[in-house]
Structure 1
Amino acid sequence: MEVQSFIANENKLKKLYYICSEDNYLREEFKQKFIDKFVDEEIKDFNLSFVQPGEDYLKRLKSAVQTPPLGSEKRFVISHLEAADSFDKKEAEKFIALLENLAESTSLLILSPEPLDKRKKLYLRIKKQGSYHEFKAPKYSNLDKWIVSRFREYNKKIDKRSIKVLENMFSNKLEILAAEIEKIVTRFPDKEKISYYDIKDLISRERFIEDEEIFAFLDLIGEKKTDKALLSLKEMLNKGVYPLYLLTMLANQIELLMQVKFYSQFTKNNKEIAKKINKHPYPVKKALQRSRNFTQLELEKILEEILTANYHFLTGYYPDQNTALEMIIIKAINY
């Protein structure tokens, strides 16, 4: 089932939703559609909270879900969680107790890239308390349909050869694909049908941006060097890097820094951390060095800012994306 269909059929709000998808785009899509359907605009400021993973996670989550709603019957808490199965026995028991004692006035949405072990107590408790669902990025013919539907949202058609080119370059990484599709339709506003010859040069530019360039950019943010960070940003944009692609790359690196910083409390060995988070030791080593420039709270705030902007970019909320990206960076530096 697709995210859109799931939300459309969810007519009675539950106290707990545990949503898993390794695809960040699908997790963000679920979060935004959940908010759009269930969280009234007038109560967002006081009754919608976000809890990011990191230090004292369970303590912060418990505080959020136990806070009563203000001027409303419901309070909503949305939390990103890397892997609940990585809790030790004591933490797992606390987490289960927290979920079992949710107030009727609270609705908790947990978003995780990792599915739960269905043999364990945590999964069984979640199924009993609320809704557990896994969403997978589409493949093969379903991915073809997804790409076609994305173009259709912009009132565009695309030929089969172009679909295959997009799939070959970006596989089923939906966040990157969505950014590429938006770039294509923006470049050809008056064309009803997009052809291979329209896109072949346009989609190749971002392939040249390196992780090192992103890391250097993050260094400038961490060192609070606003002028140099904005200059670096402009240089990347001048190379033809699409703002939404850059935002996606930044989100990926911030998530890596958060993971590495969390595990660095227990070990400074990059190989051990890499094994924990299923990453190659080299980028983990680099992230371990860069994570010292940020507190966990700063990283959480920056990531939330980026994810919100990412959604606004996709929905066309920001007409001038370059300027919007500059404002996001300035805000991140000032945290």
Structure 2
Amino acid sequence: MNKKSVTIKNLDWNMAGDLYFPDHFDETKKYPAIVSAHPIGSSKEQTAGNIYGQALAQAGFLVLAFDASFQGESGGKLRHLENPGMRTEDFSYAVDYLVTLDYVDEEKIGVLGICGGGAYTIDAAKMERRFKAIGTVTAASIGRLWRETEFNPIKQLEEMAKQRTAEARGAEIRVDNALPDTVEVAKKMGIDDIDPLEAIEYYRTPRGQKPNGTNLSVYSHSTALVNYDPYHLIETLLTQPLLVIVGDKPGAFGAYRDGFEIIRRAGSKEKELFVLKGWSHYDLYDQPEPTRLALEKLVPFYKKYLG
């Protein structure tokens, strides 16, 4: 695997990235490039890099998988902060890095996002016109998910406000773990939905576990997530060629319905929803058959629009 670690300048901190190179890479040539964004609570070493990044590089693209600000090996404080405004801005800093590389064709840069990173990809692409082709795999809106927790967003916002006041007065910062340690523990807690159960199987076992795939979040600073809608104005602002891939086993994280919403609303003239029959949200992270099928759509899509 041809990969190197790189440093991406952000505001007053740096982001960490992994740059995946095509086979027989020649730095005297120019290559189409793809920015790859990891899921919520994940890291660049997981599905965005080691599965899709590596495969797209083998197909001839230069791929940059990066850790979101405040997460993984990237800088920024508070640690484990999930800030949607900054998370979408991270994409532009990733492009800023790519256009400094002589071997990147700046007119042929695309983007791919998985899970929550897919919804952030849609949001970022509305504003980042240097992205010429947009792909998502099992994209899901973290904002909608927060609002549907207990179906009582006002209660959540009031609790966050109280926690932030306490922290301003010196209380310890509350950092929540989104997942129980095992499926058995989750079931005892009454969790029976396919998405959180399969998330545990991915993040809490050797299958997908990585040191920086923490699934942690700062509770008092999650108010922006409750208010967040990555699909706002996509009818007008999202116009690039678009490929949305989902599995047809719906779960609580909502990627299946989000896929239909994105395609229905996007202003893109060239757009396609590809539904993988018999596969779930987390199957699309790393399982050989569904990821093969997804890549069989993604590779020709990017080749068509990035060359």
TM-score interval, normalised by the smaller of the two chains: under 0.3
TM-score by length of 1: 0.25
Relative contact order, higher structure (CA 8 A, sep 6+): 2
More strand by share: 2
User: Whose radius of gyration is greater, 1 or 2?
Assistant: 1
TM-score by length of 2: 0.27
